[in-house]
Amino acid sequence: MRIQISLCLLLLCYCSSFFGLHSILVSGRCLDSQKLLLLALKNDLKFDSSLSTKLVGWNQSVDCCDWGGVTCDKAGHVIGLDLSNEFIAGGFNGSSSLFRLGFLKSLNLAYNSFNSAQLPSGFGKLTQVRYLNLSNANFEGQVPGDFSLMKKLVTLDLSSSPYYSLVLENPGLKMLIQSLTEVRELLLDNIKIITDGYHWSSVISSFLPNLQVLSLKGCGLSGPLDSSLATLKNLSFILLDENTFSSEIPESFANFQNLTVLSLRACNLSGSLPKKIFQIPTLKTIDLSSNVILKGPLPVFPENGSLENLVLSYTEVGGTLPDSIGSLPLLSRIELRGCKFTGPIPVSMQNLTRLVYLDLSSNLLTGSIPSFQSSKNLVSVNFYQNNLTGGIPSFHWEGLNSLQFLDLGYNSLIGNFPESLLTLQSLEYIYLSNNRLSGQISKDIDVSSYQLRDLDLSSNKFVGPIPGFIFKLPAISTLTLSKNNFNGIVDLDMFGKSTKLYALDLSYNDLTVRVNASKSSFSSLSELNTLKLASCKMQELPYLKNQTRLMMLDLSDNELSGEIPNWIWEVGNGYLRFLNLSHNKFSSLQKPYTFPFLLDVLDLHSNYLEGDIPIPPRRVYHLDYSNNNFRSSIPVNFGNVLTSTLFFSISNNKLVGVIPQSIRNATSLRILDLSHNTLTGPIPVIGNLKDLQSLDLSVNKLNGSIPEELASLRSLSFLNVSYNHLSGKIPQGSQFQTFTELSFKGNKELCGPPLKKSCNKKRI
């Protein structure tokens, strides 16, 4: 029986090997000693067995060479161990049995969470290791000196996240690598490498002659970027982002014959774009973005070059886009956001058939939008904030079935809405705001499977009714149609099925918005955060009591009247932050009411509100009560609740009494307007309102003199105290001369420049 089985096994092995399944033959030979070491390792390691996929399956009934993550040689020695992503959280120290797996050639513990533990000594015993990967394993502290004993290392990856920082100080970089001369891939991202000046590059270039991959992102390296690196002829990947080199890119970097990736994002690079580097035939990716003083035009690109990713956003690089950009057949990602490009988008870009991602936003581009008909893989197109003109030809977008993102906002585009966009079901974001687009959007289509989430058509000249499909978009989240000439009647309930609606803005059109004040499907939209219906001829407040997430509500410039209901302060579960009810016909606030404590902006101006001044919540930063009929005096402590307030106006009411001293405590104020009331008494000494820019106390009955301190308020540039009963001499501060507006007139007893009336010495 036994013989039969082993014969059978033998045959199986034979057959397997015959069919090329060699691995089955070499496994099945796990040495007991190796198995015991692995089991001891598993026993020590703390890992989450519900998430682990490899360690959890290590058990005696299976040959250890078949365990997940384990590789053996023919003799049954463990030569490879890959425990990356195993949710290991500790249980690893210098006496770990791992360090007795003396045959290991490859070890990967990446993406675990050793919880800021120190890296133990012991790695030096693993003298056969060629591949060591401890990246993102959340180790911290100094890298142990015995790492330098792993003399066969070819790949060393100790990259960490910025939050768990390893350090190379003592030993430093030189001590670590000076005997690791075989290394071809060195990745030490976010390790704090403490060296003086640019020694790091000469150290690397003298000890690692075979280096192909160098990744030292965010290592705290300083500059200048040194040309010694250029002696490493085989360097293929250079990733040195987020260090502070503060220098130019050395010319000699163009000598890398095999350069594939050059990434130097946010390194404070200066000088001009190194043109020659773009001529390297192997170059696929260049990222020099966020070097805000890096200048220069783009080079002429080599015909049929291999560039795939061109990333220069947030630099001073500018000039015209060269036609040769269209001769890079593999180009798939162009990120030139926030640069200084001028002139037209080259027509040659129509030839970029591999283009996936195109961002030319925030430049100074002019001319018309070319066609991207042949770039069938386009996912994202962003021309936001340029000066593009002409129409948006509909056929340009036909068949771009991968397109997800389109931003043409803030240009000077004219003509109609490109209706072909409405055939692209994958589109998630359409931004066309702030152009001069016009006409009616008439197309009605079945949008039940559309992905559209954000649609922004604001600040254009669209006319006609809001197209019907807009109310049926199943995924719509942000809909901004404000500042057009849309007309007709909109019943808010028409949005009742847009269950993902987060923000709705229909303001400033020619719409009449109707609501059902008692019960409505709109009020059950549970995601709604922002509702802006300014100037929508509304006569009734929508029912918003059930909106638990609403934080921004603008119902200004409507025909709302009567009491402001007290439930409005509970909208959004009391988390309302912005409320604008200005330019309506409200006459009072329903009592009792409690303002929500997070309210930042409260705008009630231009209503018919009467009675006492409502006491605002403490952190309000914009408070406008102007143009109402408030009749009380200003409460004594009013200034003490305005400590965070930047803007406060209560002009054009019927306030009486004095300006309370507590206004001195409103130290954040930039604009204070108490004009056009019947306030009496003196102007308080407010020399401590250091940020005050504008003070209007005109048309009241204030008396006494103008406090000297006003003349020394550094930020003040607008002062109007005209038409009061002020007396005495106008203070002569040097500040007053730079004011944009200064008015003292209509105070009979006031004297001195700039008034014509000079001060009679006797009267002072």
Q: Could you list the residues that contact ligand NAG (CB under 6 A)?
A: 44, 57, 59, 61-62, 84, 91, 93-95, 108, 110-111, 133, 135, 155, 157, 185, 187, 209-210, 212, 233-234, 236, 244, 246, 258, 260, 268, 270, 304, 326, 347-348, 350-351, 387, 389, 412, 516, 518-520, 523-524, 543, 546, 637, 640, 661-662, 665
Pairing of strands 88-90, 46-47: antiparallel
Question: DSSP 3-state assignment of 531?
Answer: strand
CB closer to ligand NAG, 59 vs 758? 59
Structure tokens belonging to residue 473 = 């978009």
DSSP 271-336: SB--GGGGG-TT--EEE-TT-TT-B-BPPPPPTT----EEE--SS--EEEPPGGGGG-TT--EEE-
Give φ, ψ of 156 to 5 degrees. -130, 115
CB closer to ligand NAG, 155 vs 460? 155
In the complex, the smallest distance separating the C-beta of residue 88 from ligand NAG, rounded to whole angstroms, is 13
CB closer to ligand NAG, 51 vs 62? 62
In the complex, the smallest distance separating the C-beta of residue 347 from ligand NAG, rounded to whole angstroms, is 5
In the complex, the smallest distance separating the C-beta of residue 682 from ligand NAG, rounded to whole angstroms, is 14
In the complex, the smallest distance separating the C-beta of residue 120 from ligand NAG, rounded to whole angstroms, is 8
In the complex, the smallest distance separating the C-beta of residue 284 from ligand NAG, rounded to whole angstroms, is 8
CB closer to ligand NAG, 390 vs 611? 390
The gap between the terminal CA atoms of the chain, to the nearest Å, is: 127
In the complex, the smallest distance separating the C-beta of residue 324 from ligand NAG, rounded to whole angstroms, is 9
**302-339 CB burial, b ≥16 within 10 A, e <16:** beebbbbbbbbbbbbbbeebeebbbbbeebbbbbbbbb
Nearest CA-CA partner of 669 in 683, 648, 699, 697: 648
Q: Where are the beta strands (DSSP E) in 584-717?
A: 585-589, 601-603, 610-611, 622-624, 629-630, 647-649, 671-673, 680-681, 694-696, 701-704
Question: DSSP 3-state assignment of 89?
Answer: strand
Residues 6+ apart with CB under 8 A from 352: 325, 326, 328, 329, 331, 374, 375
638 with 661: CB under 8 angstroms?
Answer: no
CB closer to ligand NAG, 33 vs 59? 59
In the complex, the smallest distance separating the C-beta of residue 605 from ligand NAG, rounded to whole angstroms, is 26
Q: Give the sign of the dihedral formed by CA 624, CA 626, CA 630, CA 631.
A: positive
- Cis-peptide, bond into residue 592, ω within 30° of zero: yes
In the complex, the smallest distance separating the C-beta of residue 240 from ligand NAG, rounded to whole angstroms, is 15
CB closer to ligand NAG, 248 vs 398? 248
Neighbouring-strand partners of residue 186? 156, 214
Question: DSSP 3-state assignment of 407?
Answer: strand
CB closer to ligand NAG, 165 vs 246? 246
CB closer to ligand NAG, 250 vs 427? 250
In the complex, the smallest distance separating the C-beta of residue 223 from ligand NAG, rounded to whole angstroms, is 8
In the complex, the smallest distance separating the C-beta of residue 665 from ligand NAG, rounded to whole angstroms, is 4
CB closer to ligand NAG, 134 vs 552? 134
Nearest CA-CA partner of 283 in 320, 246, 257, 318: 257
Give φ, ψ of 22 to 5 degrees. -60, -35
Nearest CA-CA partner of 423 in 391, 440, 445, 453: 445
CB closer to ligand NAG, 40 vs 601? 40
CB closer to ligand NAG, 94 vs 574? 94
* Cα–Cα distance measured from residue 629 to residue 186, given in angstroms and rounded to the nearest whole number: 73
In the complex, the smallest distance separating the C-beta of residue 547 from ligand NAG, rounded to whole angstroms, is 9
